[in-house]
């Protein structure tokens, strides 16, 4: 039996081949690197095609990825393996999964925008500046005068894995209203990407649903990373129901092994039959991330596994977001990846490298790699 819910049904079917959208150059400055699709990860291709600049503006104008959701401040301990109380100091870093993806795409040379809400405070202004510094369109960002920017303290275990403690009761991101949405920006997108944290409370939940409906009606591809954070939900049951309530409208879904176990109430995430329960009839691509072991991919026509890249993990914060940024930066340029397995595998190798590089530094946004860095490490791996 399929696990996805039918709570929110949107009319209209996504038509994947789309015409170019109009996105003014004044809102996004050209990045140093172009973002063509990866057609082959051979040494000759990495050297010969990866840095091509021809048609950069045309590509960027037609490949906008809008990321909807939360942006916050992560406080990451300077020493691994200690509890929050034992940590001697913390490093301040911008975070929030949708914002991480937006910055990640821009770092890779793509075109991205962020829609969300922060406090009208020093941290909120800092986050807005970080988006601008990273060439992310922030026209859809809103500031709340009555609520603070969200904070998250992150405990790093000795293996680099994390535990979270959040300060958001309520924080500004929870208070985004439908009337504050930039629907023109949403309809311009090639892809709208979002998570599930924005579904937890009103009014942000209604704003999230309205944004997704507007994008769906406009033929925008919907990308969903549940990004499970159980401490933020009232209960495990409400988290499972909330995450699955919008499952069937997404065209692309990325989940981790742990999230599969959670959503299927303890079933084996490595069992293909279990994974297929999460594949709804309208889904174009289901991605399962496995950390350093790489990822699995599922479409109606084919499925497989792409190996990961082994690195020494310092902090896994943002690794999944870097992976999502890597694949969406390629998909926004070439939607035929959804039908051509060879091209999809190459794009996923690139995405895996994005995630691997991110865990070698502390913090999410500070650690997101440039396209040049990713291609350099891929070149070394095939040499």
Residue 224 DSSP class? E
Q: What tokens appear for 79 in the block?
A: 């020493």
Instruction: For residue 238, give every residue at least 6 positions away whose Cβ sits within 8 Å of its Cβ, in sequence order, or none.
Output: none
C-beta separation of 177 from 207 below 8 A? yes
> What is the model's pLDDT at position 58?
44
Tokens, residue 13: 């079917």
Predicted confidence pLDDT, tens digits, the chain (383 residues): 455 443 444 433 333 333 333 323 333 333 333 344 444 444 444 443 332 233 443 445 579 999 999 999 989 888 878 888 888 999 888 999 999 999 999 999 999 999 999 999 999 999 999 999 999 999 999 999 999 999 999 887 766 566 788 998 899 999 999 999 999 999 999 999 999 999 999 999 999 999 999 999 999 999 999 999 998 999 999 999 999 999 999 999 999 999 999 999 999 999 999 999 999 999 999 999 998 999 999 999 999 999 999 888 887 888 999 999 999 999 999 999 999 999 999 999 999 999 999 999 887 888 999 999 999 989 887 65
Residue 370 three-state SS = coil
- pLDDT for residue 35: 42
| 298, two tokens | 């599922």
CA angle, 124 as apex, 118 and 128 as ends, to 5°? Answer: 95
Spatial distance between the Cα atoms of 26 and 359, rounded to a whole number of angstroms: 33
Residues 34, 59 contacting (CB under 8 angstroms)? yes
How far, in Å, CA of 139 to CA of 74, rounded?
23
Write down the H helix ranges in 38-155: 43-48, 56-61, 97-107, 122-133
Please report which residue ranges of the chain form alpha helices under DSSP H: 43-48, 56-61, 97-107, 122-133, 183-188, 204-217, 236-245, 257-263, 272-276, 319-331, 341-358, 371-382
Length reported for the chain: 383
CA neighbor of 165 nearest in space, from 151, 183, 175, 177:
151
DSSP calls for 176-191 = --GGG--HHHHHH-SE
- Picking from 334, 329, 275, the residue whose alpha carbon sits closest to that of residue 304 is 275
Residue 29 CA to residue 25 CA, distance in Å, equals 7
What is the reported pLDDT for 61? 54
pTM of the model: 0.84
| Bridge partners, residue 164, by sequence | 154
Give the pLDDT of residue 154.
83
Answer for the pair 30, 56: CB distance below 8 angstroms, yes or no. Answer: yes
Taking the CB of residue 293, how many other CB atoms lie within 10 A of it? Answer: 14
Report yes or no: 295 and 287 within 8 Å, Cβ to Cβ.
Answer: yes
List the beta bridge partners of residue 287.
Answer: 254, 297
């Amino acid at each position: 039996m399929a696990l996805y819910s039918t709570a929110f049904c949107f009319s209209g079917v996504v038509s994947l081949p789309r015409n170019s959208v109009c996105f003014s150059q004044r809102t996004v400055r050209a990045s140093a690197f172009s973002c063509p699709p990866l057609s082959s990860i051979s040494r000759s291709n990495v050297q010969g095609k990866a840095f091509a600049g021809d048609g950069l503006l045309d590509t960027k104008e037609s490949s906008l990825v809008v990321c909807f959701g939360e942006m916050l401040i992560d406080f990451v301990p300077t020493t691994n393996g200690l509890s929050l109380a034992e940590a001697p100091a913390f490093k301040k870093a911008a975070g929030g999964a949708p914002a991480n993806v937006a910055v990640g795409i821009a770092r890779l040379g793509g075109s991205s925008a962020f829609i969300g809400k922060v406090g009208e405070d020093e941290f909120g202004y800092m986050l807005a500046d970080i988006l601008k510094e990273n060439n992310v369109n922030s026209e859809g960002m809103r500031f709340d005068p009555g609520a603070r920017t969200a904070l998250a303290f992150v405990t790093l275990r000795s293996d680099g894995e994390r535990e979270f403690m959040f300060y958001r009761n309520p924080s500004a991101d929870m208070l985004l209203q439908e009337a504050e949405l930039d629907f023109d920006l949403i309809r311009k997108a090639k892809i709208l990407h979002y998570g599930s944290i924005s579904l937890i409370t009103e009014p942000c939940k209604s704003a999230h649903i309205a944004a997704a409906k507007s994008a769906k009606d406009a033929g925008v591809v919907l990308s969903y990373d549940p990004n499970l954070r159980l401490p933020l939900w009232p209960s495990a049951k409400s988290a499972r129901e909330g995450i699955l309530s919008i499952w069937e409208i997404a065209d692309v879904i990325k989940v981790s092994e742990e999230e599969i176990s959670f959503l299927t109430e303890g079933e084996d995430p490595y069992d293909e039959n279990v994974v297929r329960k999460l594949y709804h009839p309208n889904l174009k691509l289901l991605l399962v991330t496995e950390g350093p072991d790489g990822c699995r991919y599922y479409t109606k026509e084919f499925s497989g596994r792409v190996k990961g890249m082994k690195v020494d993990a310092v902090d896994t914060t943002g690794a999944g977001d870097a992976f999502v940024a890597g694949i969406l930066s390629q998909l926004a340029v070439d939607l035929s990846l959804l039908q051509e397995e060879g091209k999809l595998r190459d794009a996923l190798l690139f995405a895996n490298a994005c995630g691997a590089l991110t865990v070698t530094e502390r913090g999410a946004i500070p650690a997101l790699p440039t396209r040049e860095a990713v291609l350099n490490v891929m070149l070394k791996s095939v040499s």
